[in-house]
Structure 1
Amino acid sequence: MLWVDKYRPKTLDKLIVHQDIAQNLKKLVTEQQDCPHLLFYGPSGAGKKTLIMALLRQIFGASADKVKVENKTWKVDAGTRNIDVELTTLSSTHHVEMSPGDAGFQDRYVVQEIIKEMAKNRPIDTKGKRGFKVLVLNEVDRLSREAQHSLRRTMEKYSASCRLILCCNSSSKVTEAVRSRCLNIRINAPSEDEIVKVLEFIGKKEGLQLPAGFTPRIAQKSNRSLRRAILLFETCRVQQYPFTPNQAIPPMDWEQYVAEIASDILTEQSPKRLFQIRGKLYELLTNCIPPEVILKRLLSELLKKSDAELKLEVSHWAAYYEHRMRLGQKAIFHLEAFVAKFMSIYKSFLLSQFAAFG
């Protein structure tokens, strides 16, 4: 088991980071014997999912851990026709977790029909304490406007038997109507000192000798993502142990791959090279790297090696294609379009430089 899963805190009391939020949540559900609709938002790797799972254990006890993964196909009524919507869910007797955004343009049917069906099934609780089921919806900021409007109606109609816990990176992409019906909880990226504390805790549990300054270097490389820091720590352990004070901290494989793509783009700007890069972008997408993350990382790598006068224009087009990518369905088209646009800008710049010095 990966350390990121092995040492994930099971309860709100055991959280090393976000302790103040954890205690406030514990107080809320303990005193009220209830839970409002919640919206957790913050950067990737900050600990949102860990907090949510610890909260579910606080509400329902150890039975919230007994989960099963299902890949189900629902038949939903889309007005003039019936359509099949396939979605993966993670569920226990008390909660269901899913990512409606995975259904693409059919996300509104997921919200309208599937969530409605789940919300109707009021759980049987012999103790009479928790007469509601929790739906955990991931990446709510990816949902279309229509799906978010349906979500608002579902929250109102089934509030007696269903509580929603929404999770996203950016609350600005969630409609005001949905946000106003939830208790909004901002999960900030952990500080480097907090990350060091977690890494030292894991090192102690694993019986590792940690050289001075080693964990702070990993924390610095993590970009304040706790998940990334733990993965880097475990990678270092696999590559070389005992640790040395100046041991190299390797980049993630996919980041190295994106850096190679950036080098390919800068080396040659041609239709042939664009075709080769398309294949590499497909490789990243098939390995489940989110397209927004690929675009952001690729932009970062290109800006590192680009002339200062190009940076503003390149950043503008990256933002343009990110927006187009959110509106469309095929991410590869927009990633490839950004690469083609960069090639065009960069080649024009090189030609103008040659002309100036020619």
Structure 2
Amino acid sequence: MPSAYFTPDHETFRASVRRFLEREVAPHAERWESERRIPREIFRRMGELGLLGILFPPEVGGAGGDLFHAVAFLEELPRSRMGGFCAAISVQQFMATRHVWNHGSAEQKRRWVVPSIEGRAVGALAVTEPDAGSDVAALRTRAERRDGGWVVHGAKTFITNGADGTFFTLAARTAPDRGARGISLFVVPADAPGVRVARRLEKLGWHCGDTAELSFEDVRLPADALIGEENAGFGYLMEAFQLERLCSAAIAVGSAIVCLEETTAYARDRQAFGRPIAEFQTIRHRLADLATAVEAARQLTLHAAWLLQHGHPAVRECSMAKLFATETAKRVADECLQCYGGYGLMEEYPAARFFRDARPNTIVAGTSEIMREIIARRMLE
């Protein structure tokens, strides 16, 4: 279909991403889900294909694409058939490395961003703590100046790529009495002395993606581990939230599209009472309602992306897109599973994984409750 947002170049790129995912990733989904790991080789393969540096310029090995190349990529990621894969890849190139690129030194970019684009390094964004999730300003991990460098103490949890990653973009408190204005960002190598994976977390969904609880005990960092300015980290995080929420929205839209495709195909083949269940009005109308909701979520997401690409803050629109798209994807997964009947509960059918993998989306990158609060503030204050 013609699009007001995507050019022929975007669609050619989308087709190449889809071919790669369907040929080189999706066939391994069952094994990777079972093993609870994404092989490092697939990161390197994606680096070779230019799929890990979409928004980065060619001079550092990036593709030099625009935001709609990224949206096309994110919409296609669910064709991997793994929510954990979508999370790991999106964190790698749109979150962990973006802070280093936006505010880091030339040396930090050379050491961490370039290998990430090439797939030789895997990044994680280490912000969430046991007692500080949505309330970022309440984090307790601290970084203290000592002997010309920094010493980090604290713990992080629910960190995507945390167990198998190469480095962390870490948020830590550097001014204890300044609240949100006392937080800084650091690059921390995963193999630095004192960094420990306290626990590899088992999740409801996203099984192939590693999620970790991390411990930082007397971790010594050089002075140049600081990203950007001291005590400016909270602002950097707030600045990046819109892209992060847009990523969640686009992935949710793509996931719902794939789920609907699979369910529609099943409904055409599955026989009940002597005919395909797709011929029953209750099934047909349910699928029609779901398709309408997904298209609405997609258009809201694309509008938010357009605003962001053209320099508008789009806080309200990105929050709306994240809220509506992830809630829609959750609804789609639930109602599509119902169409499968008892088979929807069986692991050999795709509905069970769609259902599991849709559930985290309304929690990560800002819960639906936080999105509603942000939208309400924009309306009422």
State the TM-score, normalizing by the size of structure 2. Answer: 0.28
State which structure, 1 or 2, has the greater radius of gyration over its C-alpha atoms: 1
